[in-house]
Structure 1
Amino acid sequence: MAGAVSALFFLDIKGRVLVWRDYRGDVSAIQAERFFTKLIEKEGDPESQDPVVYDNGVTYMFIQHNNVYLMTASRQNSNAASLLLFLHRVVDVFKHYFEELEEESLRDNFVVVYELLDEMMDFGYPQYTEAKILSEFIKTDAYRMEVTQRPPMAVTNAVSWRSEGIRYKKNEVFLDVVESVNILVNSNGQIIRSDVVGALKMRTYLSGMPECKLGLNDRVLLEAQGRTTKGKAIDLDDIKFHQCVRLARFENDRTISFIPPDGSFDLMTYRLNTQVKPLIWVEAQVERHSRSRIEFMVKARSQFKERRHVYTTLFQLFNSFYPRVYCY
Structure 2
Amino acid sequence: MISQVFILSSQGDHLIYKDFRGEAGSDVVGVFYEKVTALTGDQPPVVMNHGDLHFVHVRQGGLYWVATTTADSSPFTLIEFLNRLAALVKDYCGSLCEKSVQMNFALIYELLDEVVDYGYIQTTSSDVLKNFIQTEAVCSKPFSLFDLSNVGLFGAETQQSKVAPSSAATRPVQSSREQGGKSEIFVDVIERMSVVIGSNGVVMKADVEGEIRVKCFMPSCSEMRIGLNEEFSIGKSQIRGYGAAVRVDECSFHQAVRLDEFSSSRILRLCPSPGESSNEQTVMQYQLSDELPSAPPFRLYPTIERDSGGRLLMYLKLRCDLLPRSAAINVCVTIPVPRGSVSVSQELSSPDQSAELKLQSRAIEWRIPRFPGGTQLSALFKLEAPALGPAPLMEVGPVVLAFELPHLTVTGLQIRFLRLSPVQPGPSQRWIRYVTHSDSYVIRV
**TM-score calculated relative to the size of structure 1:** 0.50
Residues 3-23 of structure 1, C-alpha deviation per residue, up to 9 Å, x if partnerless? x21110100001121111011
Counterpart check, 1:65 vs 2:60: yes
C-alpha distance 31-203 of structure 1, shift in aligned 2 (>3 A): farther
Distance apart, 1:64 and its partner CA: 0.3
Q: Comparing 32-41 with 111-120, which one deviates more in the overlay?
A: 32-41
CA contact (8 A) 1:213 1:255 kept: no
**TM-score calculated relative to the size of structure 2:** 0.38
CA contact (8 A) 2:338 2:362 kept: no
Describe how 1:180-195 pairs up with structure 2 within 5 A: none
RMSD: 4.1
Distance apart, 1:97 and its partner CA: 0.4
Q: Give the whole-Å Cα distance in 1 for the aligned partners of 2:192 and 2:46.
A: 26
Distance apart, 1:164 and its partner CA: 6.3
C-alpha distance 202-127 of structure 1, shift in aligned 2 (>3 A): farther
Which residue number in structure 2 is paired with residue 278 of structure 1?
none
Which residue number in structure 1 is paired with residue 214 of structure 2?
none
Distance apart, 1:75 and its partner CA: 2.0
Q: Give the whole-Å Cα distance in 1 for the aligned partners of 2:136 and 2:398.
A: 43
Describe how 1:92-107 pairs up with structure 2 within 5 A: 92-107=87-102
Q: Give the whole-Å Cα distance in 2 for the aligned partners of 1:177 and 1:56.
A: 50
Which consecutive residues of structure 2, in runs of 5 or more, have no partner in the other structure? 147-190, 198-296, 320-332, 340-358, 366-392, 401-445
C-alpha distance 11-260 of structure 1, shift in aligned 2 (>3 A): same
Which residue number in structure 1 is paired with residue 45 of structure 2?
50
Q: Give the whole-Å Cα distance in 1 for the aligned partners of 2:399 and 2:122.
A: 47
Describe how 1:214-229 pairs up with structure 2 within 5 A: none
Q: Give the whole-Å Cα distance in 2 for the aligned partners of 1:81 and 1:213.
A: 34
User: As a proportion of its length, which structure holds more strand?
Assistant: 2
C-alpha distance 153-145 of structure 1, shift in aligned 2 (>3 A): farther
Which residue number in structure 2 is paired with residue 258 of structure 1?
397
User: As a proportion of its length, which structure holds more helix?
Assistant: 1
Which residue number in structure 2 is paired with residue 126 of structure 1?
121
Amino acid at match of 1:64: R
Distance apart, 1:51 and its partner CA: 0.7
Counterpart check, 1:139 vs 2:134: yes
Which consecutive residues of structure 1, in runs of 5 or more, have no partner in the other structure? 158-162, 179-200, 217-238, 246-253, 262-328
Describe how 1:219-298 pairs up with structure 2 within 5 A: 241-243=361-363, 255-259=394-398
SS in 2 for 1:86: helix
Larger RCO, structures 1/2 (Cα 8 Å, 6+ apart) = 2
Q: Give the whole-Å Cα distance in 1 for the aligned partners of 2:75 and 2:334.
A: 42
Which residue number in structure 2 is paired with residue 87 of structure 1?
82
Match of 2:194 among 145, 154, 162: 154
Identity of aligned residues (%): 23
SS in 2 for 1:119: helix
Which residue number in structure 1 is paired with residue 7 of structure 2?
10
CA contact (8 A) 1:63 1:71 kept: yes
Q: Give the whole-Å Cα distance in 1 for the aligned partners of 2:335 and 2:363.
A: 14
Q: Give the whole-Å Cα distance in 1 for the aligned partners of 2:60 and 2:71.
A: 25
Residues 241-294 of structure 1, C-alpha deviation per residue, up to 9 Å, x if partnerless? 52579xxxxxxxx95240469xxxxxxxxxxxxxxxxxxxxxxxxxxxxxxxxx
C-alpha distance 122-155 of structure 1, shift in aligned 2 (>3 A): same
CA contact (8 A) 1:8 1:21 kept: yes
